[in-house]
Amino acid sequence: MTKSSAHKFWGGIKAGLPVAIGYIPIAIAFGLLSKALGIPNYISALMSLIIYAGASQFIGVNLLVAGASFGEIIIATFLLNLRHFLMTGTLSQRLEENVSGPWRALLAFGVTDETFSISALNKEETLSKHFILGLNTIAFAAWNAGTWLGLFVATGLPEVVKASMGIALYAMFIGLLVPHIKKEKPALVVSVLAVFINSASYYLSIMFGFSGGWGIIIATVASAAIGAHIFAKGGEQA
């Protein structure tokens, strides 16, 4: 790496610290849950290593223990992660020019709700591949370290501590969103729309018993599309 690419990589690591802080407790919770459900440790560790998607892993182990078929688990995982399609589509347009296919394929592995939010709300118009690599690396390391802590170390944590960790990622989402909606009306309108659409689909899914996996995707697509319509001018800034 040249000096400036190393500099960008470290920039990515630094930008990823809040994600890492949020991931460790959630991954610990995953390790604890998975262990409590009787999933073998090597399976839980493998999940964090190659699936690397929090919600899918939680739902995966729960479905596994509930006796769901492999087909059901795979479809649920697919639906749950379909939203990343929108995220990597968005990032693909912000990535600096001349990033090769293999590099893109590597960077795509590390795209999560959290690393996406950090990248997409970054002030730079084009994103450096080294920045994203640094961001992805620290987030991935934290997720796996947390999983191991949950599997092998954290069993004795008091309930009050465990119950206080789940807020971490939501606090991060709030921390990313609030400064923007304070200043940019289009961002405010779009995110409030998404909250309403997602809440509606969440409660409808409970009432009518269909899968809630679509809610976040529908809410994201619909509110971004409405935003793109009503803010035809001046909504260009990301």
Partner 1 sequence: MNIVYLIAAMALVTYIPRMLPMVLLKNVSLPAYIRRFMGFIPYAALGALIFPGVLTSAGTGGIESAVAGALLAAVLAWFEFNLILVVLGGIAGTFLMNMMLI
- Closer residue to partner 1 in complex, CB, 1/51: 51
| 9 versus 61: smaller Cβ distance to partner 1 | 61
Task: Assess 204 for contact with partner 1 (CB under 8 A).
Answer: no
**Residue 60 token pair:** 């995966």
Sequence-distant (6+) residues with CB within 8 A of 213 are 76, 79, 80
* Binding residues for partner 1 restricted to 115-134, rule: CB under 8 A: 116-117, 120-121
Is 90 a binder of partner 1 (CB under 8 A)? yes
Q: Which of 58, 148, 202, 214 binds partner 1 (CB under 8 A)?
A: 202
Size of the residue set binding partner 1 (CB under 8 A)? 101
Q: Which stretch binds partner 1 (CB under 8 A): 2-10, 90-98, 137-145, 147-155?
A: 90-98
- Which of residues 8 and 118 has its CB atom nearest to partner 1 in the complex? 118
The whole-angstrom separation of Cα 194 and Cα 184 is 16
How far apart CA 109 and CA 50 sit, in angstroms, is: 9
**CB of 8 or CB of 114, closer to partner 1:** 114
Interacting residues with partner 1 between 93 and 112 (CB under 8 A): 93, 95, 97, 99, 101, 104-105, 107-109, 111
Among candidate residues 76, 74, 138, 94, the one with its CA nearest the CA of residue 112 = 138
Which residues have a Cβ under 8 Å from the Cβ of 177 and sit 6 or more positions away?
Answer: 187, 191
- Identify any residues that bridge with 77 across adjacent strands, giving them in sequence order: none
| One-letter identity of residue 141 | A
Residue 93 CA to residue 113 CA, distance in Å, equals 17
Does the footprint of partner 1 cover residue 210 (CB under 8 A)?
A: no
Rule CB under 8 A: is residue 137 a binding residue for partner 1?
A: no
